[in-house]
C-alpha cells in the first residue's frame, strides 16, 4: 500500500469466474494496482465472479469509500461478460470519452479492441472505469486514460468551479432572454 492521502484511494475489482474460484491468478488486477500505486494511490483489491448482481454490489460498496473504482474483466462478448451492464446500472452518468480513448489505443495494438465494451462513468463523487481482463489489454487501456484520472478525481471532489473560466454569453441567447424580459443568464 502507498502512503497516499485518503482522497487518492482506489479499488481494483477483478470480475472473473476462474480467478474468484482460485483457478487462475489475477494478473490484470495486480498489474493495474501496481500502476495506480505508482500514481500515488492507496489501492485495495477484490475479486468477484462474473455475476451481475455481485459486480453491482462490489461497485456500490467500492464507490462509497474510494475516489476511483477500476474493474478488469467481463467487457467482451460472451454471455458471462456482464461488467458493463452492472456498471451502467449503478452509474449516475457516463464519461464516454474514456471508453473511446481506451478502444482507440487498443486498436493500435489489435483490431479486436473494437469488441471491448469498456465503460466509464460517475457514481456520486467516484469515477468508475471498466478495463479488459487480459493483462495486456488492461494495461494498454489504463495507460490510455491515466493522464486524465487525477484531473477527473479532483474535479469530482469539488468545489465544482472552474477557477478563471468565464463563459461569455451567446449574443443570440442574450437577445432572446432580453426580449422575453428575463434576467441575463
pLDDT single digits (tens) 88-100: 999 999 999 999 9
Find the Cα–Cα–Cα–Cα dihedral 123, 126, 127, 130, rounded to 10°.
-70
* Pairing outcome for strands 42-48 and 126-131: unpaired
> In 10 A of CB 60, how many CB atoms?
16
Contact of 109 with 144, CB cutoff 8 Å:
no
Confidence (pTM):
0.84
pLDDT single digits (tens) 15-67: 999 999 999 999 999 999 999 999 999 999 999 999 999 999 999 999 999 99
According to the model, what pLDDT value does residue 162 have? 58
Q: Higher confidence at residue 175 or residue 36? A: 36
Residue 158 pLDDT > 80: yes
The SS3 of residue 41 is: coil
Contact of 144 with 108, CB cutoff 8 Å:
no
Contact of 121 with 93, CB cutoff 8 Å:
yes
According to the model, what pLDDT value does residue 163 have? 57
Residue 168 pLDDT > 60: no
Q: Using the Cα atoms of residue 57, residue 121, residue 49 and residue 36 in order, give the sign of their dihedral.
A: negative
According to the model, what pLDDT value does residue 139 have? 97
pLDDT single digits (tens) 72-120: 999 999 999 999 999 999 999 999 999 999 999 999 999 999 999 999 9
Q: Where are the alpha helices (DSSP H) in the chain?
A: 17-20, 27-38, 52-65, 83-90, 96-107, 135-157, 171-179
Spell out the domains of the chain, with CATH numbers in brackets: 9-160 (3.40.980.10)
Identify which of 60, 62, 55, 68 has the alpha carbon closest to the alpha carbon of residue 127. Answer: 68
Q: Considering all CA atoms of the chain, what is the largest pairwise distance in Å, rounded to the nearest integer?
A: 70
**CA pair distance 6, 95, nearest whole angstrom:** 24
Residue 112 cell numbers, joined:
479486436
Amino acid at each position: 500500500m502507498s502512503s497516499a492521502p485518503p482522497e487518492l484511494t482506489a479499488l481494483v475489482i477483478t470480475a472473473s469466474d476462474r480467478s474468484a474460484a482460485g483457478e487462475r491468478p489475477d494478473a490484470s488486477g495486480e498489474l493495474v494496482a501496481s500502476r495506480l500505486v505508482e500514481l500515488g494511490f492507496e489501492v485495495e483489491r477484490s475479486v468477484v465472479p462474473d455475476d451481475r448482481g455481485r459486480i453491482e454490489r462490489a461497485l456500490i460498496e467500492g464507490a462509497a469509500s474510494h475516489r476511483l473504482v477500476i474493474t478488469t474483466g467481463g467487457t467482451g462478448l460472451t454471455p458471462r461478460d456482464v461488467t458493463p451492464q452492472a456498471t451502467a446500472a449503478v452509474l449516475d452518468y457516463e464519461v464516454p470519452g474514456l471508453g473511446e480513448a481506451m478502444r482507440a489505443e487498443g486498436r493500435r495494438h489489435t483490431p479486436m479492441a473494437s469488441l471491448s465494451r469498456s465503460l466509464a462513468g460517475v457514481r456520486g463523487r467516484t469515477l468508475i472505469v471498466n478495463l479488459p481482463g487480459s493483462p495486456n489489454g488492461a494495461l494498454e487501456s489504463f495507460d490510455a486514460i491515466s493522464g486524465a484520472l487525477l484531473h477527473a478525481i479532483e474535479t469530482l471532489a469539488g468545489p465544482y468551479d472552474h477557477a478563471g473560466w468565464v463563459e461569455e454569453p451567446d449574443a443570440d441567447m442574450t437577445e432572446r432572454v432580453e426580449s422575453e424580459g428575463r434576467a441575463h443568464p
